[in-house]
């Protein structure tokens, strides 16, 4: 049985890490705050991947973002996917050299799809994560928004995702703007617009507030992973307890014996091999 994945998403805005509700941002703290409240050398064993998105409104400072990426990647033992304004080889390479294992693309899918092809040729299709932000309009129909949720695309969500399914991307990261930051649970109806021809793994984000919401998503056969960006709901040992609860309830997540890993870390610190 293929393993499901639990993903933790961090939202970065000009040196600060943020909470988001329906794509409205609220500052939480800087890198020091994050490192104080989330020891990634330990919680790495409670998540399968980290996604770091530069959601800075306005001009982005790639060098500063890369500095934060290098600090986050130190002693972090799970893959990191990073993005936000990535559209060319130079910006993608800068993130990969700063500790990212994958690149997340969003607006460039609509603006310059040929650039996605170029990135995949340079770094490999498995390195490209396609992020799609979805919102329901006044008629209840799903629409795709780009530019940090500020620009609706004219294509229907189904047409957009069908076109994306044929592009050289390794996986899809779907985010519900309506559920974003609400803690009300995932909107699994977003998955109804996925094309049948889609072969890439699918990650769903937006609405997770507790482990039961994770369970809801991970038991859906259309999903390979769920993601949460809610910093406060999973502070401390929240992620550890959530993963343990999911495994106990039969979710096929990778399992590590944390006691053994802790002893190995102590021995490594003492220089014992």
Q: Which residues are catalytic?
A: 133
Sequence-ordered alpha helix ranges (H) in the chain? 31-37, 40-43, 62-73, 89-97, 107-111, 113-123, 157-165, 211-218, 238-248, 258-270
- Angle of helix 211-218 relative to helix 238-248, nearest 10 degrees, comes to 40
The Cα 215–Cα 209 span in angstroms is 11
The Cα 154–Cα 100 span in angstroms is 32
Dihedrals φ, ψ of 133, to 5°? -100, 125
Please, what is the end-to-end C-alpha distance for the chain in angstroms? 34
Token digits for 146? 């780009």
Residues 6+ apart with CB under 8 A from 199: 165
The Cα 16–Cα 172 span in angstroms is 26
The Cα 234–Cα 231 span in angstroms is 6
Query: Exposed, middle or buried by CB within 10 Å (0-12, 13-18, 19+), for 235?
Result: exposed
């Amino acid at each position: 049985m293929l393993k499901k994945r639990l993903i933790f998403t961090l939202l970065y805005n000009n040196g600060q890490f943020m909470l988001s509700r329906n794509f409205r941002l609220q500052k939480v703290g800087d890198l020091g705050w994050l490192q104080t409240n989330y020891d990634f050398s330990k919680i790495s064993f409670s998540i399968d991947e980290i996604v770091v998105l530069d959601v800075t409104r306005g001009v982005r400072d790639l060098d500063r973002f890369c500095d934060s990426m290098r600090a986050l990647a130190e002693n972090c033992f799970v893959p990191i996917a990073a993005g936000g304004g990535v559209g060319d080889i130079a910006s993608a390479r800068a993130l990969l050299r700063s500790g990212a294992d994958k690149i997340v693309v969003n607006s460039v899918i609509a603006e310059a799809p040929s650039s996605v092809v170029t990135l995949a040729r340079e770094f490999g299709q498995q390195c490209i994560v396609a992020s799609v932000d979805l919102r329901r309009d006044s008629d209840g129909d799903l629409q795709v928004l780009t530019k940090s949720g500020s620009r609706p695309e004219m294509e229907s969500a189904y047409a957009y995702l069908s076109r994306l399914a044929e592009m050289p991307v390794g996986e899809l990261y779907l985010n519900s703007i309506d559920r974003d930051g609400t803690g009300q649970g995932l909107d699994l109806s977003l998955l109804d617009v996925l094309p049948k021809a889609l072969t890439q793994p699918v990650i769903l984000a937006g609405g997770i507030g507790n482990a039961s919401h994770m369970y809801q998503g991970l038991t859906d056969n259309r999903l390979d992973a769920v993601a949460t960006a809610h910093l406060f709901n999973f502070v401390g040992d929240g992620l550890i307890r959530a993963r343990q609860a999911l495994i106990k309830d039969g979710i096929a997540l990778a399992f590590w014996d944390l006691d053994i890993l802790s002893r190995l870390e102590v021995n490594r610190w003492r220089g014992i091999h």
